[in-house]
Structure 1
């Protein structure tokens, strides 16, 4: 039977179809990744970074005593008030998300930490950039020294802890003048980023 031009065209088209089918099958075969693009995979959230330390919530760094300097002294023109300041002298920004007010204890270790003044809580967590300062006001007693029902003791230093499990840092009072405090009625504000925000307490 003679081979015509039309039969040759049909045979050529069939060969092209077979070749394309084989090529597609090779590329789709399992394990064949030679033509696939390489993509970078980010570490899962919460995994360790290159230095081996897990990141904090939202990538934040918690303030630690090693990063801070504390000062305490009488609040000018405010009776029964002490001002506690903390300055970040490190080169990293940190915050007080783990504990938003200082944990203070006057007297022996059996006494509870001072309660915080709820109304002094700021709307957002206080962060400290390098060189920045935060403030807290301590109400040393609810009544005047020597007044009815007033009890307490004079102190020249006290402990400040940043979290419940942290060891307290001893802070001496500026001026070295002892201050009379009543641990039963003393309170403390939340950390605030400006002095004006705590002065009213």
Structure 2
């Protein structure tokens, strides 16, 4: 039926023209809807406080933050007027306070780390468990031992809790100190330099 062919062709062309005109409008409208409603592109809420499960700092009793090496800066050096004594300091450079984990004293390792940690001086335990505020410093005195077979060390390992990786701390003046790991001792973390130097 030849008379129908031009009409059908014009109808088809008109339909295609309408579709071509409407398609960009629909696409733009759809994009805008996705930006406001799609959870994948919506603004996310503020994250919750970090916990152990989401990679945040470890928590102690009451949800308090436990000090980790990433929050701290260590320094060690011999005491010029005290024979066989070194002072270890640790400063909190985080923006939040943290608590020292049990056993509340530095676990020191000299040499290859196969020896047990240096024993603590029991009488040096402070009255309360230490909390380290931002920019605050804690102190520990190290007696380097009395034996004659000590080794010269320019750095040693400091761990904050059992079964954790030790941080290697170098002596500040770069002068090796003679240490006998069999007779060396360390205090608990002290709140002041004066408290540490009593030992």
TM beyond 0.5:
yes
Query: What's the CA shift for 1:113?
Result: 0.5
Unaligned runs of 5+ in 2: 1-46, 53-58
Alignment of structure 1 residues 97-176 onto 2, 5 Å: 97-143=101-147, 150-176=148-174
Aligned Cα RMSD in Å? 1.5
Shift of 1:56: 2.8
Query: Equivalent residues in 2 for 1:33-72 (5 A)?
Result: 50-51=48-49, 53=51, 55-72=59-76
- Residues 1:52 and 1:169: Cα distance change in structure 2 (over 3 Å): closer
Rounded to whole Å, the distance in 1 between the matches of 2:197 and 2:50 is 42
Structure 1 runs of 4+ off > 2 angstroms?
A: 49-52
Kindly indicate whether the alpha-carbon contact (under 8 Å) linking 2:101 and 2:161 is maintained by their aligned counterparts in 1. no
Aligned twin of 2:100: 96
1:87 maps to which residue?
91
Q: For residue 200 of structure 1, report the CA deviation from its aligned partner.
A: 1.7
Supply the distance in 2 between the matched residues of 1:59 and 1:104 (Cα, whole angstroms).
27
Which structure has more helix as a fraction of its residues? 2
1:62/1:98 contact within 8 Å kept: no
Deviation of 1:109 after TM superposition, in Å, equals 2.2
Deviation at 1:52, TM superposition (A): 5.9
Tell me the SS of whatever aligns to 1:174.
coil
3-state SS in 2 of match to 1:176: coil
Per the TM alignment, residue 76 of structure 1 is displaced from its structure 2 partner at its CA by 3.2
Q: Distance in 1 between matches of 2:159 and 2:174?
A: 21
Q: Please, which runs of 5 or more residues in structure 1 have no aligned partner?
A: 1-48, 144-149
1:86 and 1:135 in contact (8 A); partners too: yes
Aligned pair in 2 of structure 1 residues 52, 82: CA closer, same or farther (>3 Å)? closer
Q: Aligned-pair distance for 1:197? A: 0.7
Alpha carbons of structure 1 residues 97 and 163: separation in structure 2 relative to 1, 3 Å: closer
**Alpha-carbon deviation of 1:51?**
3.9
Q: In the alignment, which of 164, 167, 177 is matched to residue 175 of structure 2?
A: 177
* TM-score normalised by the chain length of structure 1: 0.70
- Per-residue deviation, residues 161-181 of structure 1 (Å, max 9, x unmatched): 011111000000011000000
Taking the aligned partners of 1:56 and 1:179, their CA distance within structure 2 comes to 36
